[in-house]
Amino acid sequence: MKHIQVFAGVGLILMLVGCNPSTKGTIEVNSDPGGADIYINDTLTDYQTNHVFEEVEEGEYSIRLLLAGYAPWSEVVTVKAGKTVTVDAKLEAVQVGALRWSYETGKDVYSSPAIGTDGTVYFGSWDDSLYALDPLGNPLWRYDAGHLISASPAIGSNGTIYITSYDKNLYAINPDGSLKWSYMTDSYIHSSPAIGSDGTIYFGGKYRKPGTQELVDYLFAIDPDGNLKWKYRTENEIKSSPAIASNGTVYVGSNDGFLHAVNPSNGSRKWAFEIGAAVESSPAIGADGTIYVGSNDWNLYAISAGGSKLWSFSTGGAVSGSAAVGPDGTIYIGSSDSRLYALDLSGNKLWEYNAKRMILSSPAIGANGTIYFGTLGGTIFALNPDGTLLWNYEADGNVQSSPAIGEDGTIYVGSDDGCIYAIYGDSPLASSPWPKFRHDNQNTGRAR
């Protein structure tokens, strides 16, 4: 009797569907090996292979699969009403540390790449342009800023790209490459923008003092519509890029020898920690709120959220790059003494690696613990978590850019030879308090 009731119910459902036909179908996405992230129309879904998507509207869909250690895979499928389209992808393993592609701009690439949620790679060049490339290295668009770009772009939650330039402007660029707005200061800008949780953009720049026309240095806060909210004065140039704590406090270093902590609401000073030498390093923030920042006095400092010194670690050269913090709290920092250091939470050295060339690049940490960084000799290094060499790749120019790591493990980094390089890796970005320069792949410079 139960079987009869089930079949009767199904028959009734089919009859109703026949009277009001569905316009939806199904996509089944499989891969060998499984576990690949699934993108549909360049949007990352919450699912990995193997997975079935039901109730999909009729039409064409681009399916892209990303799995660290394997080449990206894509296919366009057509969904028809009441039908299931099946994707069976055989993923191809890649040689980790090998070049995936490179793209030449023509002039130095100091800028550290930012990666959009759809995999688009953004970076600036000394050829005066901001570039957008797809994950395969194909150009999507190029925006001419009118002067060289050494800063790194940051991507807002709505996809807006923010970049500073030596033409004195902060630019807000739409995802299609068109200008949204620009904000002009009175001199060239080294500092890369950071983005607060409310969309406020922070960066270091200069204004002319009324009357004397003297250039004065400020940390600027600009609202999402391009209007000045406030400016905070420092006593010398800001080459450091701001970092934003989880409570909104903005930290920035200055060549005046201080690390400044600024209230986000009104731009007033919370505190200023005196180091005594130029602070070009951009702060990194640990899980407990500790700020890690380097200085030209050859030290890395750990400073509490209240502005007191916890410890310092002395290297053999200036520390202008930024620290990265691993999932276990290990702090990684490079120095112009050619060494990358790994320190524990108390500032004790765990190990050091001699790269034999100056390190201005900031390290990035993969989810499997691999540490990536570049050197002035043009070598891009990958180290094991214990500090031993995993592999290296030779670019044709100095690497001052800091690496970004894509969802498929690809490492993106710029070089003075005018190129950005994409190198096969085998792990996405680590989930840690501060795994890379500017914190995340969107380069927001903001702790979560």
pLDDT of 109-122, one tens digit each? 999 999 999 999 99
What strand order describes the sheet that includes 269-274? Answer: 243-244, 250-253, 258-262, 269-274
pLDDT averaged over every residue in the chain: 93
pLDDT at 2: 28
Q: Does 19 score more than 90 pLDDT?
A: no
Task: Take residue 292 and report the two structure tokens written for it.
Answer: 């890690």
- When pLDDT is cut at 50, 70 and 90, the band that residue 21 belongs to is low
Tokens of residue 20, six digits: 């009001």
pLDDT at residue number 212:
85
Cα dihedral 296/219/285/406 (nearest 10): -100
Q: Which is nearest to 414 in space by CA: 143, 95, 139, 151?
A: 151
Q: In terms of Cα–Cα distance, which of 207, 210, 202 is closest to 229? A: 202
Sheet (strand 51-57) strand order: 51-57, 24-32, 84-90
Rounded to an integer, the average pLDDT of 405-431 is: 96
Helix (H, G, I), strand (E, B) or coil at 275: coil
For 157-192, write each residue's pLDDT tens digit.
Answer: 999 999 999 999 999 999 999 999 999 999 999 999
Q: Which residue ranges does the chain devote to CATH 2.60.40.10?
A: 2-90
pLDDT digits (tens, 9 = 90+) for 275-323: 999 999 999 999 999 999 999 999 999 999 999 999 999 999 999 999 9
Q: Is the pLDDT of residue 6 over 70?
A: no
Which structure tokens are listed for 126? 């000394």
The angle subtended at Cα 308 by Cα 307 and Cα 311, nearest 5°, is 125
Lowest mean pLDDT among 6-15, 345-354, 389-398: 6-15
Q: Does the pLDDT at position 18 exceed 50? A: no
pLDDT at 20 over 90: no
Homologous superfamily (CATH) for 2-90: Immunoglobulins (2.60.40.10)
Total count of residues recorded for the chain: 448
Instruction: Round to whole Å and give the CA distance between 29 and 285.
Output: 39
CATH 2.130.10.10 domain span(s) along the chain: 99-423
CATH code given to domain 99-423:
2.130.10.10
Helix (H) or strand (E) holding 9: helix 2-19
Q: Identify the pLDDT of residue 209.
A: 87
445 pLDDT above the threshold of 70? yes
- CA distance linking residue 406 with residue 45, whole number of Å: 16
**Which positions ≥6 away from 159 have C-beta within 8 Å?**
116, 117, 174, 175
